[in-house]
Amino acid sequence: MTIKACGAHAADKPLEILDITRRAPGAHDVQIDIAYCGVCHSDLHQVRSEWAGTRYPCVPGHEIVGRVAAVGARVTAFKPGDLVGVGCLVDSCGQCEECGDGLENYCDNWVGTYNSPTPDAPGHTLGGYSQAIVVNERFVLRIRHPAQHLAAVAPLLCAGITTYSPLRHWRVGPGQKVGVVGIGGLGHMGIKLAHAMGAHVVAFTTSESKRAAATALGADEVVVSCNAGEMTAHVKSFDFILNTVAAPHDLDAFLALLKRDATMTLVGAPSSPHPSPNVFGLIMKRRALAGSLIGGIPETQEMLDFCAEHGIVADIELIRAGQINDAYERMLKGDVKYRFVIDIASLAG
């Protein structure tokens, strides 16, 4: 099947409309007509080869929602018309301890929704900035939100699970003071989710203009992190901090805000390293600095169901495919409240 997609031919080239092909669904495949696809900062890192190793043409997009168009002969869990999502993974080895634990995201051989080797043309996976995708049923998620919220559900498939997973792993809940650093696509979901889990949430931003909006998202307090006085007021007071910032920055300033034995988890993946943390900041209070990668398939379904139950969706700005290059520039300036989502119908022309 030949379809329209939006992608780039090289790291220094803008994204443009391309024709790509999708395989015919195999026995265990689900073919999905994509309605919306969120725009993650990882798409920008990858399409510009900021992490190195990008394969071209690169069609990004791993916050995919749409309806099932067809299913393979052995698929029983989905039928045409179902509302479904696909996140950052489309396959994994299925054999290792991580896969057995439902943590396919930590499988050494997980297949990313884009830029991973595949037998399909052109030899690497192509993502959701496209009209359709064919995915093994094990990596298809069910969406239980009302259909009219579908566009705003799309960002849950990456921004939602990437923040939900560490919040759950580090057992965030009532009675805890939790920081979320960076109010972008991931951070705004982190605020909503930590609030829904019952924590006292403090949002950290470099943007004075996001102060009021962060409160509306569910933050109990907002700190403009370049203001030293505001930071000092929170020293040694946090049970957990989730850091979503997409650029290198001073981690020590946030580590100093952790209580004894508390953890700061990094999910932001800048293309160049952070200045090293001062080890004394960790040693003296037995603090921990950790990382976390998206989430496994069972937890992604759990997150979608949690969000449907709590009425949680992303705050989005819907764009046409032709606006994607401008959207990337605005994302780099932190000028999006809080996630761009592409209306895939606009690919038709």
Kindly list the residues in this chain that would bind ligand NAP in the complex (CB under 6 A): 40-42, 45, 158, 162, 182-187, 205-207, 210, 244-247, 249, 267-270, 292-294, 331, 334
Choose from Zn ion, ligand NAP, none: what does 293 bind? Cβ within 5-8 Å by kind: ligand NAP
Per rule CB under 5 A, count of chain residues that contact Zn ion: 3
DSSP assignment string, 327-347:
HHHHHHTT-SSSEEEEEGGGG
Choose from Zn ion, ligand NAP, none: what does 210 bind? Cβ within 5-8 Å by kind: ligand NAP
Choose from Zn ion, ligand NAP, none: what does 245 bind? Cβ within 5-8 Å by kind: ligand NAP
Contacts to Zn ion from residues 1-60, by CB under 5 A: 40, 42
Q: Which residue is nearest to Zn ion (CB)?
A: 40
Task: Work out how close the CB of 39 gets to Zn ion at its nearest, in angstroms, rounded to a whole number.
Answer: 9
Task: Work out how close the CB of 264 gets to Zn ion at its nearest, in angstroms, rounded to a whole number.
Answer: 20
Contact assessment for residue 183 and residue 194, using Cβ atoms and an 8 Å cutoff = no
Exposed/middle/buried for 37, CB within 10 Å: 0-12, 13-18, 19+?
A: buried
Of 283, 239, 231, the C-alpha closest to 258 is: 239
For Zn ion, the closer CB: 57 or 128: 128
CA 224 from centroid of its chain's CA atoms:
24
What phi, psi does 119 have (nearest 5°)?
-70, -20
| From 84, 158, 181, 308, residue interacting with Zn ion (rule: CB under 5 A) | 158
For Zn ion, the closer CB: 40 or 68: 40
Alpha carbon distance 196, 91 (integer Å): 30
What phi, psi does 107 have (nearest 5°)?
-65, 135
Exposed/middle/buried for 224, CB within 10 Å: 0-12, 13-18, 19+?
A: middle
Task: Work out how close the CB of 173 gets to Zn ion at its nearest, in angstroms, rounded to a whole number.
Answer: 25
Stretch that binds Zn ion, among 150-158, 191-199, 227-235, 306-314 (CB under 5 A): 150-158
Residue with tokens 């009532």: 174
Helix %, strand %, coil % of the chain (to 5): 30, 25, 45
Choose from Zn ion, ligand NAP, none: what does 243 bind? Cβ within 5-8 Å by kind: none
Task: Work out how close the CB of 267 gets to Zn ion at its nearest, in angstroms, rounded to a whole number.
Answer: 10
Task: Work out how close the CB of 91 gets to ligand NAP at its nearest, in angstroms, rounded to a whole number.
Answer: 17
Of 271, 291, 294, the C-alpha closest to 51 is: 271
Q: How are beta strands 132-136 and 29-38 bridged, if at all?
A: antiparallel
Q: Which residue is nearest to ligand NAP (CB)?
A: 184
Task: Work out how close the CB of 153 gets to ligand NAP at its nearest, in angstroms, rounded to a whole number.
Answer: 16
Task: Work out how close the CB of 60 gets to Zn ion at its nearest, in angstroms, rounded to a whole number.
Answer: 9
Give the helix ranges, DSSP H, for 104-256. 150-153, 159-169, 185-196, 211-217, 228-232, 252-255
For Zn ion, the closer CB: 64 or 257: 64
Find the length of the chain.
Answer: 349
For 129, residues 6+ apart whose C-beta sits below 8 A from its C-beta are: 5, 6, 7, 15, 37, 43, 59, 60, 61, 321, 324, 342, 344
Task: Work out how close the CB of 195 gets to ligand NAP at its nearest, in angstroms, rounded to a whole number.
Answer: 16
Alpha carbon distance 138, 204 (integer Å): 37
Tell me: does residue 201 bind Zn ion (CB under 5 A): no
For Zn ion, the closer CB: 86 or 158: 158
The site map against Zn ion for 272-291 (x = CB under 5 A) is --------------------
For ligand NAP, the closer CB: 20 or 139: 139
Task: Work out how close the CB of 87 gets to Zn ion at its nearest, in angstroms, rounded to a whole number.
Answer: 8
For Zn ion, the binding residues (CB under 5 A) are 40, 42, 158
